[in-house]
Chains A and B, each alone.
Chain A
Amino acid sequence: MLVRRVWPSRPTFDSPFSDFDQVRREMLRLLDTVAGETFGDVGAGVFPPMNITQDDDNFYLRAEVPGIKPNELSISAVRNRVSLAGKREIQQEHERVSYHRKERAEGTFNRTVTLPTEVNAERVDARYVDGILTLTLPKAEEAKPRQITVRT
């Protein structure tokens, strides 16, 4: 590999994948830069936007669903999947109003997310406060982290 030693930066074809890999990494890095600084985190593009967090015992799913009646939400959990369905209705105003802005969306939604581990579907707790739906999903016993003590 004399060529390599003389011009180390020159592309060679003896390991084509390393070049692709380099390009791929560079593109991902650029994408990360753009996404991180301009758009924030880009979601799945499906309503409602969700944040999911976890601690040792639970998953917490929070969704921004302003202006929905809690009894119009349908939530179901099975194994490690959670489904959220409902509709958002914007009530009709009196006739004889003229609109300056109409940006708030209405319609139906139906979304399923998969959690990293199974949850105890019997003990899922749902709360709706200030337009945010919070689900507390206890992790299944076998999915909880266990402390392992080292014997001496």
Chain B
Amino acid sequence: MAREGRTEIQKTEKTGVPTVPEQTRPGPVYSPSVDIFENDNSITVLADMPGVKAQDLKIDLRESVLTLSGRVTWPEGPNELDVLREYQMGTFLRQFTLSETIDQAKIDAKLTDGVLRLELPKVERARPRQISVRTD
């Protein structure tokens, strides 16, 4: 399967999520695939949200719960008939609890080609400090 030393990409099915509290907007809700990593200064979240436009993406951080939700605009015209349907469209929704204290004013979000990149800088006092050990 490997070509040029690469692996072929595996398809992952969108996973539906039960939403709590229940949504008022009808339609399915899906959990986006994410990468989350952190270094000393910030936490970065990357989320695949294909079909979501920047104005339909909501990012909310309150009481250390981060909520990402993005609504997909139905792209198909009214006269189009199905031939093959392999994915469904709906709302992307995912929540995380962040343990570090985030500097809310400096949060930066960018949506490029259906991928959200969210930078959450830590506040100064939450950053790890090197503690040097003195020897006598």
Q: Which residues of A contact B (CB under 8 A)?
A: 39-56, 59-60, 62, 64-69, 87-88, 90, 93-94, 96-110, 113, 115-116, 128, 130-132, 134
> With a CB–CB cut-off of 8 A, which chain B residues contact A67?
48, 112-115
**In the bound complex, how far is the Cα of B84 from the Cα of A96, in angstroms?**
44
A102 touches B83 (CB 8 A): no
Residues of A within 8 Å of B35, CB to CB, are: 90, 99, 101-104
Query: In the bound complex, do residue B86 and residue A43 qualify as a contact, i.e. CB atoms below 8 Å apart?
Result: yes
Name the residue in B36, B52, B82, B114 with the highest tally of chain A Cβ atoms < 10 Å from its Cβ: B114
> Given A60-B76, A68-B113, A131-B49, is A51 in contact with B10 using a C-beta cutoff of 8 Å?
no
- Please tell me if the beta carbons of B33 and A105 are within 8 angstroms of each other in the complex: yes
A–B Cβ pairs within 8 angstroms, 12 of them = A42-B86, A43-B87, A50-B86, A54-B80, A87-B9, A90-B46, A98-B37, A107-B7, A108-B7, A113-B84, A130-B114, A131-B52
Contacts from B to A (Cβ < 8 Å): 3-4, 6-14, 16, 28, 33-40, 44, 46, 48-53, 75-77, 79-88, 111-115
* CB-CB nearest 8 A-B residue pairs: A131-B114, A43-B86, A66-B114, A131-B50, A107-B9, A53-B80, A47-B11, A49-B87
Contact of B113 among A46, A102, A131 (CB under 8 A): A131
* Contact A45/B34 with A67-B114, A94-B39, A131-B50 known, Cβ cut-off 8 Å: no
Contacts A40-B88, A42-B13 supplied; 14 other A-B pairs, CB < 8 Å: A40-B28, A43-B87, A48-B11, A49-B86, A55-B77, A55-B81, A68-B113, A103-B35, A107-B6, A108-B4, A108-B9, A109-B8, A116-B83, A130-B51
Known A66-B48, A101-B34, A108-B8; judge A52-B114 contact (CB<8 A): no
Nearest opposing residue in chain A for B77, CB measure: A55
Q: Say whether A41 contacts B34, CB under 8 Å.
A: no
Contacts of B79 on A, CB cut-off 8 Å? Answer: 55-56
Shortest C-beta distance, B32 to chain A (Å), equals 9
Cα of A93 to Cα of B42 in the assembled complex, Å: 13
Give the distance in Å from the alpha carbon of A42 to the alpha carbon of B13 in the complex: 8
On chain A, the residues within 8 Å of B115 by CB distance are 66-67, 131
Whether B83 contacts A59 by the Cβ 8 Å rule is yes
Q: Which residues of B contact A131 (CB under 8 A)?
A: 48-52, 113-115
Please, which residues of chain A bring their CB within 8 A of the CB of B13? 39, 42-43
B8 & A107 in contact (Cβ 8 Å cutoff)? yes
A60-B76, A99-B35 are known contacts. Are A105 and B9 too (CB-CB below 8 A)? yes
Best-buried of A41, A66, A88 by chain B (most CB within 10 Å): A66
Complexed CA–CA distance, A104 and B34 (Å)? 6
Q: A96-B39, A96-B40, A132-B51 are in contact. Are A41 and B10 (CB under 8 A)?
A: no
